[in-house]
C-alpha cells in the first residue's frame, strides 16, 4: 500500500527554513516514502533484500527423525540403568548410510551405527553418543550411559512445521534466512526492488579526489561516502556527478535524476545563501512540495525534504560530518522504507551499546545534538570519550566509534552518566 500521494502542489517561497523537530522529520519521511515495485528473484540473490510477501513452510523440517550426533541408534528403554560400572550390551545389526532411507526396524536389544544427520531407523527413539560406547569386537556394543526418549534426535517438524509462518512481509533477509528458505525448498522469493538513489553533488569548490585542490577548493568527500552509505541501506546509486552553482545546470541534473531514480539525494546547496538555490529549483518542478527546510539538530540543521515530480528529494548539508550524520539518521531510513522496511525498523539504529561519559557534553536546549565519541573499556565497562571537531572535519567521524544523542529538552550530558551510543 503506498505510503504517500504523489499529487502535491507547488510550495511557496515563504516555506524556506521551515524547521521541524527530529521526530516530526521522521514522521514526514515515513508518510512520504513510496514503496518500490516488487520483483521475484532466486533466493540465492536475496541476501539483504526485503520480502514483499509473507512466507509459510510447505514442509516439515526436518522431514525425518534425524540424528544430532555421531553414535548408535537405540530404543531408549534398552539403555535404562546403564552406567560405566554397569553397562548395557546391544547387538550391532547394521550401519545407517548418510542420505539413505533407514528401512530396517530396530528390535529389542539391537542397535545401528548412525552419523550426524542420518535418518533414525523405525523402532528407534533415541541415540547414544559414540563417546559413551565401546565396540566389543564380536558385533556387540557396550553402552555406558542411559538415554531418554528422543535424546540427541531432531524430530520431524521440530525446526519448523508444515504450514507454519516463516517470515512476514517487510523482513530484510540475511545469510541465515537464505539457509532456512532453501532448507524448506523455497528457491525464489518476491522482494521489493532496490530503490535507485539519484546522487547529485553541488558546488563550484568541489574537485575530484585525484585532483590537487587549489586554495578555496575541496575534494569531493561526500559523494564517495554517500555512495557507500546508500549501498549499506540497500539502494542502488545513480550518480549524476558534480553540478556547479548554476541554476540551469542544477535544474538539468535534477530533471535527469528524477527521470532515472526513485529518490534523489543532493549534497550541498541546502543552507540559505546567495548561491543555494536548491529549494527554489526543487519547487519549480510539477507535483512538488516542501515538507521541511531545516531540522532542529546539530550537526545538520540545513536539511531539505521535499517532493519533486512526485518523488522524494532530500537536500543534505555540504559539510561532511553534517551530511553523513543526517544521512545516517534520515537518509538511510528513507531508502530502507522505500525498499520495504517499516518505519519502526528503519529508524531503529542497527547497533548500539551502553557506556559512561568520561566528561561533560554541553548542548543548547531546543535541538537534538549528536556528539561523536570514542569507546574505551576496562573491567567489563565502557567509557565514552567525546571527540572534538567541527562539522567540516571528516576525521572527527573517522576517529569516533559512534554518536551520543542529547535530547532537545536537555542542556547536555554529565560526566559519569550512562548513555546509549549509536555505533557507526
Q: What are 148-160's pLDDT values in tens digits?
A: 999 999 999 999 9
pLDDT at 176 > cutoff 90: yes
Domains parsed from the chain with CATH numbers:
13-37+194-346 (3.40.980.10), 41-57+161-192 (3.90.105.10), 66-154 (2.170.190.11), 352-423 (2.40.340.10)
Beta bridge partners of 266: 200, 315
Contact indicator for 91, 213 with CB cutoff of 8 Å: no
Distance CA 258, CA 264 (A): 7
What mean pLDDT, rounded, does the chain reach? 92
Instruction: Indicate the pLDDT class of residue 266, thresholds 50, 70 and 90.
Output: very high
**Residues 387-403, mean pLDDT to the nearest whole number:** 87
Distance CA 166, CA 57 (A): 6
pLDDT at 273 > cutoff 60: no
Give the contacts of 344 (CB within 8 A, at least 6 positions apart).
none
pLDDT at 1 > cutoff 50: no
Least confident of 127-136, 327-336, 382-391: 382-391
Smallest CA-to-CA distance from 60 within 161, 137, 151 is with: 161
pLDDT at 271 > cutoff 90: no
What pLDDT is attached to residue 6?
A: 40
Least confident of 23-32, 60-69, 372-381, 395-404: 372-381
pLDDT at 142 > cutoff 90: yes
Q: What are 192-250's pLDDT values in tens digits?
A: 999 999 999 998 888 888 999 899 888 899 999 999 999 999 999 999 999 988 899 99
What pLDDT is attached to residue 268?
A: 84
Using CA atoms, how far residue 235 sits from 72, 265, 315, 350, in Å, is 51, 12, 17, 17
What pLDDT is attached to residue 272?
A: 56
Instruction: Indicate the pLDDT class of residue 276, thresholds 50, 70 and 90.
Output: low
pLDDT at 4 > cutoff 60: no
Beta bridge partners of 385: 374
Smallest CA-to-CA distance from 72 within 101, 45, 92 is with: 92
Q: What are 38-94's pLDDT values in tens digits?
A: 999 999 999 999 999 999 999 999 999 999 999 999 999 999 999 999 999 999 999
Please report, rounded to a whole number, the percentage of residues in the chain having pLDDT higher than 90. 82
Predicted structure pTM score: 0.87
Give the contacts of 180 (CB within 8 A, at least 6 positions apart).
160, 166
Q: Residues, the chain, total?
A: 424
**Residues 180-190, mean pLDDT to the nearest whole number:** 97
Q: What are 342-370's pLDDT values in tens digits?
A: 999 999 999 999 999 999 999 988 899 99
Dihedral of the alpha carbons of 353, 355, 357, 361, in degrees to the nearest 10: 20
What pLDDT is attached to residue 204?
A: 87
Amino acid at each position: 500500500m503506498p505510503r504517500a500521494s504523489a499529487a502535491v502542489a507547488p510550495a511557496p517561497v515563504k516555506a524556506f527554513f521551515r524547521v521541524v523537530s527530529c521526530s516530526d522529520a521522521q514522521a514526514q519521511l515515513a508518510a512520504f516514502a513510496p514503496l518500490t515495485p516488487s520483483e521475484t528473484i532466486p533466493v540465492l540473490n536475496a541476501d539483504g533484500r526485503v520480502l514483499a510477501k509473507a512466507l509459510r513452510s510447505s514442509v516439515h523440517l526436518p522431514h525425518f527423525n534425524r540424528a544430532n550426533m555421531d553414535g548408535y541408534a537405540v530404543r531408549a528403554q534398552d539403555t535404562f540403568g546403564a552406567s560405566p560400572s554397569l553397562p548395557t550390551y546391544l547387538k550391532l545389526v547394521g550401519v545407517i548410510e548418510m542420505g539413505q532411507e533407514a528401512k530396517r526396524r530396530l528390535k529389542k536389544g539391537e542397535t545401528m551405527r548412525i552419523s550426524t544427520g542420518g535418518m533414525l531407523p523405525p523402532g528407534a527413539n533415541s541415540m547414544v553418543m559414540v563417546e559413551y560406547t565401546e565396540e566389543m569386537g564380536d558385533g556387540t556394543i557396550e553402552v555406558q550411559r542411559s538415554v531418554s526418549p528422543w535424546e540427541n534426535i531432531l524430530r520431524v517438524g521440530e525446526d519448523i512445521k508444515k504450514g507454519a509462518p516463516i517470515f512476514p512481509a517487510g523482513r530484510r533477509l540475511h545469510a541465515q534466512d537464505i539457509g532456512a528458505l532453501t532448507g524448506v525448498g523455497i528457491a525464489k522469493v518476491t522482494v521489493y526492488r532496490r530503490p535507485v538513489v539519484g546522487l547529485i553533488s553541488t558546488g563550484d569548490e568541489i574537485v575530484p579526489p585525484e585532483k590537487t585542490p587549489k586554495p578555496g577548493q575541496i575534494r569531493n568527500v561526500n559523494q564517495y561516502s554517500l555512495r557507500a552509505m546508500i549501498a549499506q541501506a540497500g539502494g542502488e546509486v545513480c550518480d549524476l556527478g558534480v553540478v556547479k552553482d548554476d541554476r540551469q545546470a542544477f535544474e538539468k541534473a535534477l530533471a535527469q535524476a528524477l527521470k532515472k531514480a526513485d529518490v534523489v539525494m543532493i549534497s550541498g546547496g541546502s543552507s540559505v545563501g546567495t548561491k543555494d538555490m536548491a529549494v527554489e529549483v526543487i519547487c519549480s518542478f510539477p507535483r512538488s512540495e516542501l515538507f521541511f527546510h531545516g531540522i532542529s539538530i546539530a550537526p545538520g540543521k540545513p536539511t531539505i525534504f521535499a517532493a519533486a515530480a512526485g518523488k522524494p528529494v532530500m537536500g543534505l548539508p555540504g559539510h561532511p560530518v553534517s551530511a553523513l550524520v543526517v544521512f545516517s539518521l534520515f537518509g538511510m531510513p528513507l531508502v530502507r522504507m522505500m525498499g520495504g522496511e517499516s518505519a519502526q525498523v528503519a529508524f531503529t539504529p542497527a547497533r548500539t551499546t551502553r557506556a559512561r561519559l568520561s566528561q561533560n557534553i554541553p548542548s543548547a536546549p531546543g535541538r537534538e545534538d549528536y556528539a561523536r565519541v570514542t569507546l574505551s573499556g576496562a573491567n567489563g565497562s565502557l567509557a565514552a570519550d567525546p571527540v572534538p571537531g567541527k562539522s567540516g572535519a571528516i576525521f572527527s567521524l573517522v576517529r569516533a566509534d559512534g554518536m551520543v544523542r542529547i535530547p532537545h529538552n536537555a542542556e547536555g550530558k554529565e560526566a559519569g552518566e550512562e548513555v546509549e551510543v549509536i555505533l557507526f
